[in-house]
Amino acid sequence: MCGIAGYIGFRRADEVIISALKRLEYRGYDSWGVAVRHENEIRLIKRMGAIGDEKTYSVAEGNAGIGHTRWATHGKPSEINAHPHTDCSGKIAVVHNGIISNFQSLKEELESRGHVFSSETDTEVISHLIEEFYKGDLREAVEKTIGRLKGSYALVVMHAEKDELVAARYKSPLVLGVGDDELIIASDVPAILDYTSRVVYLEDGDLLVLMKGDFEIFSDGRKVNRKVETIPWSIEDAEKGGYEHFMLKEIHEIPRVIEDTLFEYLSDDIEIDISFAAGVSEVTFIACGTSYHASLIGKHLIEKLAGIPVRVEFASEFIYHQPPMHRTLAIAITQSGETADTLEAMRIAKKLGARTLAIVNVLGSTATRIADHVLYTRAGPEISVAATKSFIAQLIVLYLVALKLSGMTKSEMEGLLDELRIMPELVKGVLEHEDEIRAIAEKLSDYGNMMYIGRGIGVPIAMEGALKMKEISYIHAEAYPAGELKHGPFALLGERTPVIASLTPDETYEIMLGNIKEVKARESIVVAVTGHDDAEVEKYVDHVIRVPRTDALFTAVTHSVALQLLAYHTAKARGCEIDKPRNLAKSVTVE
């Protein structure tokens, strides 16, 4: 999982690329490097860690170059293993995102012919293969090289002899920015927005040649045209906007994100066409991480409102579990649209006969091209590794899908739609209590373990809350259905294990109070997340996070935002690197 960039135009290439890489550091930040073509030579620098102040770095004068920010998959983080990688002659440089699964056999083959390798990476075999195939035509050499590769790749290649870049993609994201007399190619849109809002999304199998002022795209050896699209985001959308961290900014953007998503799909009625789902007998969600938790909430909504049986599968495990799906609607949820396990699961679901729907945040991403149908979440760019606003946007789309699948008349669902319409204001009500949440978080920050509990829809709420806490504060946090505590987890309770309880105003409320009493009997600190009018819970808990009261179905939104703030302020109190938690990357583009 890495970020790559390439530039050719009238500007100094190293400055453009380093700036672009800084916007891609959420994709990888253990090392980085830049190569620039200068007077028929390739000049490069490689460094460990984050980029820092780009003004302190200078590679060489030149208007064509490539760069890379790394999240290690082959070889430990080091300057030697950092990209770009060159061939034996030093004339060819390559940056790569993905995994070459047959790199070891290729490396041994190349070594038998005298090639000498300097790194532990899979990427270096690409530069050496290109060297063997290069006869003056870089595009031809790259085309022959990718024919030998197995795995996934987005790569950009440069040769010292010509102001030209060649790029290719297969199962890894790559987008071209088309400016005025300049071109910039990168793993994601934020790297491009400083220079242009016009982009071309490359498709699997595309090979791209970038020249000064022009580009050509080839597929299966034939020249093809791809649509130039205009990105609706401004560069400010990818900046912190005065907040200390992207995560906090993105939490505070949630009311607007809900409004934007509702505006897209809800006017007088739900503007979602689900005619493609006619005749399905079940729904299967396939997702990973936070999107998996959104899927669990989607299961609750669809089964409750539409009465359709729902399964939720980890995308990474679905690959090994392939049930018949001839009357199944497979819903894939992925923020980036590039999550490798989810993409592979989508392909398998289609082969098994399922109709596929992708719920995704990124226009033109790979998931949108695999799926039969697509719904966009309209969350805008999300920079922090921890998903916040994109998760809530996924939930809003799932509410609308569940309501549409329910077959209820407009009048029957009007009360629920009214509740959805006021959701932006309800979330603002949660954000108004940030100071109280911060005070509780600071008290929790000294603990090393936590437990989250809930019942019904509160279970996936608890699971997502625990994930947020563990990934950014590094506190070990686990989530359980409250009824499962007595089946093992009770052994972990005590005065050093706080318990976070999500109480929803439904048939589970009274029994949750009973579970909380049992927890308190084990001397654990209890923090309850509940409605602002809940006067009963204070008798049994140590701290209360109050959120605006809403129908139990919609507590997934209000409670989740409160738990996002709790995780954020706990991590901040512990001095953690919030936007870039250790060992994690934003887009998981390898299986």
Q: What is the C-alpha to C-alpha distance for residues 204 and 149, in angstroms, rounded to an integer?
A: 14
Catalytic residues: 2, 586
What is the DSSP secondary-structure string of 17-80? HHHHHHHTGGG--SEEEEEEEETTEEEEEEEES----GGG----S-SEEEEEEE--SSS-SSTT
31-38, strands of its sheet edge to edge: 41-48, 31-38, 64-70, 3-8, 183-186, 175-178, 198-201, 229-230
Q: What is the C-alpha to C-alpha distance for residues 197 and 189, in angstroms, rounded to an integer?
A: 9
165-170, strands of its sheet edge to edge: 85-86, 92-100, 151-159, 165-170, 206-211, 214-219, 222-224
Long-range contacts of 366-373 (CB under 8 A, 24+ apart): 366/171, 366/173, 366/204, 366/337, 366/338, 367/332, 367/334, 367/337, 367/338, 367/339, 367/342, 367/343, 368/337, 369/203, 369/204, 370/343, 370/346, 371/332, 371/346, 372/276, 373/276
Q: What is the C-alpha to C-alpha distance for residues 581 and 95, in angstroms, rounded to an integer?
A: 24
Are 321 and 368 a contacting pair, CB within 8 Å?
A: no
Residue 169 corresponds to which tokens in the numbers above?
A: 């993609």
CB burial string 107-132: b at 16+ within 10 A, e below:
beebeeeebeeebebbbbbbbbbbbb
Residue 285 corresponds to which tokens in the numbers above?
A: 């969600």
Distance of CA 100 to the CA centre of its chain: 22
Are 298 and 398 a contacting pair, CB within 8 Å?
A: yes
Reduced to 3 states (helix: H, G, I; strand: E, B; else coil), residue 93 is strand
H or E element that contains 404: helix 389-406
CB burial string 327-363: b at 16+ within 10 A, e below:
ebbbbbbbbbbbbbbbbbbbebbbeeebbbbbbbbbb
Are 284 and 324 a contacting pair, CB within 8 Å?
A: no
